Amino acid sequence: QVRLVESGGGSVQAGGSLRLSCTAFGYIGRLNVMGWYRQAPGKQRELVASITTGGSTNYADSVKGRFAISRDGAKNTVSLQMNNLRPEDTATYYCNSPTNPYDWGQGTRVTVSS
């Protein structure tokens, strides 16, 4: 059983930065493809970034050039560096695997004010 725990959210002004972290507990071995999702109030959850075990990354157009995903296989962690944040980035952020989904964690809330 894998438990995903996200942290690092907070409130920032537009143009600010945050770094989110996700730790997978109860997992031994390499993680699958991992990703960061977000869900804004009243909207569907969307995948904003993903990273393969080999380190290849993909980003949604809305965050390309501003967000950077990384992973540490030894620590079972996945991080999301978010720069130049915009009010439209306001959402609850979750990590999970797009290819082999685990149970969702509680997420971490990001609020960006203008």
Token reading at 33: 């493809």
- Show the CA angle centred on residue 80, arms to residues 97 and 10, nearest 5°: 115
The tally of CA atoms less than 13 A away on the side-chain side of residue 80 is 33
Contact 44, 38 (CB under 8 A): no
Share above pLDDT 90 across residues of the chain, in percent, rounded to a whole number: 82
pLDDT band at 77 (very low <50, low <70, confident <90, very high): very high
Higher pLDDT, 28 or 75: 75
Residue 31, pLDDT > 80, answer no
